[in-house]
Amino acid sequence: MKNLFLATAITAAAFFAIESTAQEEKTDPCADLYSLATEIMTARQNNVPMPGLMAIMSGQPALEAIVRDAYSHPAYSVKDNKQDAVNDFANDIANACYAQ
């Protein structure tokens, strides 16, 4: 699972780097990935159905993998636990990205 996580983060980082280059913007792809991971895990913690997110990410295998990874984690009912799960997930994704 750890290897899938790392491969997903690397692929997603590459995706964001290509997008940034195409738009000629100087952005941090790992920060963009962190933001996306935050949104995905927030949706997970709020019980948004997985098929909806998968439809949004359709055709982008790396982003689909991040959604699958998020939904492999439990959803919590306590607000603080939800926020901890979001922060931990987004930081793990960003950490894998920055490690490259």
Domain range for 35: 2-98
The fraction of the chain above a pLDDT of 70, given in percent, is 75
9 pLDDT band, cuts 50/70/90, is low
Q: Give 64-92 pLDDT, tens digit per residue.
A: 999 999 999 999 999 999 999 999 999 99
Rounded-to-integer distance, Cα 30 and Cα 13, Å: 6
Question: How far is the CA of 61 from the CAs of 11, 53, 58, 78, in angstroms?
Answer: 9, 12, 7, 31
pLDDT band at 13 (very low <50, low <70, confident <90, very high): low
Quote the pTM value.
0.76
How many separate domains does the chain show?
1
Question: Mind listing the pLDDT tens digit for each residue in 19-55?
Answer: 555 455 678 999 999 999 999 999 999 999 999 999 9
Q: What count of other Cβ atoms lies within 10 Å of the Cβ of residue 29? A: 20
Nearest to 45 by CA among 81, 11, 16: 81
Residue 26: the pLDDT is: 75
* DSSP one-letter code for 24: T
